[in-house]
């Protein structure tokens, strides 16, 4: 199922777009603020973006430019004014299509389908998508072994990456340090399990906003750690 993000501050329009897209079996999320929408488009996995031009927080021009420098995904720009569409074209921001309000929802759905089909042809049906885990502001590309924290790529050592990925893939499960040590270091737990503590500390410094109040990896006192999904 294809996932679509709508960045649109007029809630009635956003809801109408969503309803029609859901009828065609698309999974749809809505953001009404420009900056939040951009963050979401960059950190989560969407197949297509429907982007309104005039938005609070950050306008559609800027969002389109930012996304184009980071991601290859179809962008459909929506505007209330025909003049703006000419302006967008002139700027060469790389939007894939433009649609003027008011538009018929079925026209929008048809265009969404056409662009998704075109991107699929470009990427090639044989191409395999990377295996990506996304949890709130954290994105782990297992295939490329890359990690982004709130949209910013962050470096992890091999073991830090393995430990973080293992925990993120098994959320809400409490693991003892011994279990994590066996799992990641692939040894009987006769080694130094303090290694686990050290690695958790390093990971937290990279992913947590405040390491003393972790939002991702919780310490379960006397037991071990749990990744909060």
Residues of this chain that bind Ca ion (CB under 5 A)? 9, 52, 54
Minimal distance, residue 216 CB to Ca ion, in Å:
34
**Complex with Ca ion: residue 53 or 207, whichever CB lies closer:** 53
Residue least distant from Ca ion (Cβ): 54
Minimal distance, residue 5 CB to Ca ion, in Å:
15
CA-CA distance, 58 to 38, in Å (whole number)? Answer: 8
**Complex with Ca ion: residue 9 or 179, whichever CB lies closer:** 9
Minimal distance, residue 111 CB to Ca ion, in Å:
19
**Complex with Ca ion: residue 33 or 141, whichever CB lies closer:** 33
**What order of strands is seen across the sheet that includes strand 3-7?**
27-31, 3-7, 48-52, 75-79, 97-100
The region that residue 71 occupies, defined by phi over 0 for left and psi between -120 and 50 for alpha, beta otherwise, is beta
Backbone φ and ψ for 51, nearest 5 degrees, come out as: -120, 120
Hey, which bits of 37-167 come out as E strands? 48-52, 75-79, 97-100, 132-135, 138-141, 146-149, 152-154
**Complex with Ca ion: residue 52 or 162, whichever CB lies closer:** 52
Minimal distance, residue 80 CB to Ca ion, in Å:
7
């Amino acid at each position: 199922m294809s996932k679509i993000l709508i960045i649109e501050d007029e809630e009635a329009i956003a809801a109408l777009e969503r309803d029609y897209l859901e009828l065609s079996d698309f999974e749809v999320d809505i953001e009404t603020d420009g900056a939040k929408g951009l963050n979401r488009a960059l950190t989560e996995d969407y197949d297509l973006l429907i982007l309104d031009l005039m938005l609070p927080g950050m306008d559609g021009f800027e969002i389109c430019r930012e996304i184009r420098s980071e991601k290859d995904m179809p962008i459909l720009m929506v505007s209330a004014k025909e003049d703006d569409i000419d302006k967008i074209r002139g700027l060469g921001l790389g939007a894939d299509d433009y649609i003027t309000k008011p538009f018929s929802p079925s026209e929008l759905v048809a265009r969404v389908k056409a662009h998704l089909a075109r991107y699929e042809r470009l990427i090639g049906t044989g191409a395999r998508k990377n295996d990506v885990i996304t949890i709130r502001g954290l994105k782990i590309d297992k295939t490329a072994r890359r990690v982004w924290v709130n949209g910013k790529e962050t470096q992890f050592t091999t073991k830090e990456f393995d430990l973080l990925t293992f925990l993120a893939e098994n959320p809400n499960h409490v693991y003892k340090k011994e279990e994590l040590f066996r799992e990641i270091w692939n040894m009987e737990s006769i080694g130094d399990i303090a290694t686990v503590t050290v690695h958790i500390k390093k990971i937290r410094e990279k992913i947590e906003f405040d390491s003393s109040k972790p939002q991702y990896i919780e310490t379960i006192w006397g037991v071990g750690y749990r990744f909060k999904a």
